[in-house]
Structure 1
């Protein structure tokens, strides 16, 4: 079992995501206010709401993440670089970039690597996550792309966009094992299907560094109710 000490520590491993493409500004404000109630590592929002998130979370330590080439990744490198620059100008702290899966299927690893390198160079010391959409790949393709991502300087591999069927825990463990074996220096972020404290604990125990989830608030609340709000009054011991 992963040795999580309290709900604040658990929240620090979670990126609370809301990439709903039909969410209203009022609904996004409610989401961000909810995020402020705990200590998430970050919120992940669409480019539309990066500035609002920066303003709302300005008095917290919660980072603001967003997406480039989302959710399909088939934009050309110049377009992705332009998206990246715009989001950096808005003050984004972290970015996830969806790879071009067509390039991967054709084994055009050099093109993918050069794209990642160019985006990372533009981002400097800010965190770059490369989204590889594991459900679309076989194990050989997964092992190849994580090596490319690590060599190109990405900080994280992220497993999914959320636009495909979530992986089962056994698939998640398999993916973590592949990443750790073939790209041992890169960090791992799991997205998809992590909607409970129990599953979050299993994923962290398996070796993930972070979890991205639309259910981040519920996961932390569940943990708090199970672990921190349980009051036990021990009976006196008579010797």
Structure 2
């Protein structure tokens, strides 16, 4: 999918997974975050497992999906523990599950273990969306390509570029990652995460070929866009269509 022109703020919000994985957030702060998500109707919220039940309650009458994380943020847990985490999220009602792929497996080229991990988690979550997080900033291009191929082969719905706990990629690095994924895992969808803090960058990422954006600045991005695009009234000067003598 390539987007060249966002028509309105509602469409922009539909491409954003509004994220808050702050491990010190209070319940009142999470409620405020969820009300902001509700106001602008994002594609999904990505939050810690702790607050999945609260999000399901607050967002019950919306179309916003509730997503949470497995093996976060390091991804070095055993396959069995990740499967158990995924099952717990399903039981809580999560609609999307983001699993951090094991960087050691990627670097050691243990692709059979990567495939086993993703396959077993996908079997556990069923029709719910499964996103495989590849910490692209820590990898060479060939490693990104092989990890994406493993994720696609094993049934993941998305490949996601970062946990948000590593220095965000530059726009050109993100587009490079998109190109790698499209070439080597053409059937898998792509979510770019981290460092997307304004509409200009969001539009560049979508134009570059991403299907979704993950951002903890989603509210600010859409709100600012809405102010500029929809809430600014400009009265054109009167003109005549004939040349004056």
Normalised-by-shorter TM-score class: over 0.9
| Structure 1 segment 96-115 matched on structure 2, within 5 A | 96-115=98-117
Q: What's the offset of the Cα at 1:102?
A: 0.6
Flag the structure with larger Rg: 2
Matching of residue 41 in structure 1 with residue 43 in structure 2: yes
Matches of 1:222 and 1:179, distance apart in 2: 30
- Which residue of structure 1 aligns with residue 67 of structure 2? 65
Residue of structure 1 equivalent to 2:12:
10
Equivalences for residues 50-89 of structure 1 within 5 A = 50-89=52-91
Query: What is the CA distance between 1:222 and its match in structure 2?
Result: 1.1
1:236 to partner: Cα distance: 2.4
* Alpha-carbon shift at residue 195 of structure 1 (Å): 0.4
Secondary structure of the structure 1 residue equivalent to 2:24: coil
Query: RMSD of aligned C-alpha atoms?
Result: 0.8
Q: What is the number of equivalent residue pairs in this alignment?
A: 239
For 1:31-83, what per-residue CA distance to the aligned partner results, in whole angstroms no more than 9, with x for missing partners? Answer: 11111111200000000000000001011110000000000001101101111
SS for the counterpart of 1:97 is strand
Q: Which residue of 1 aligns with 2:24?
A: 22
Unaligned ranges ≥5, structure 2: none
- The match for 2:201 among 193, 199, 202 is 199
1:127 aligns with one of 126, 129, 134: 129
Residue 210 (structure 1) aligns with: 212
1:105: Cα distance to partner?
A: 0.9
CA distance in 2, matches of 1:211, 1:159: 10
Partner of 2:240: 238
Secondary structure (helix, strand or coil) at the match of 1:37 reads helix
Unaligned runs of 5+ in 1: none
- For 2:161 and 2:196, how far apart are their aligned partners in 1? 12
**SS at 1:40 equivalent:** coil
Distance 1:2 1:88 in 2: 35
Deviant stretches of 4+, over 4 Å: none
Partner of 2:93: 91
Instruction: Give 1:156 deviation, angstroms.
Output: 0.1
Which among 145, 154, 158 is matched to residue 160 of structure 2? 158
1:32 aligns with 2:54: no
Q: Map 1:163-182 to 2 at 5 A.
A: 163-182=165-184
**TM-score of the two chains, using structure 1 as the length reference:** 0.98
Q: Distance in 1 between matches of 2:112 and 2:179?
A: 24
Residues in 1 aligned to 2:62 and 2:4: alpha-carbon distance in whole angstroms: 26
Query: How far apart are 1:208 and its partner, in Å?
Result: 0.3
Q: Secondary structure at the match of 1:8?
A: helix
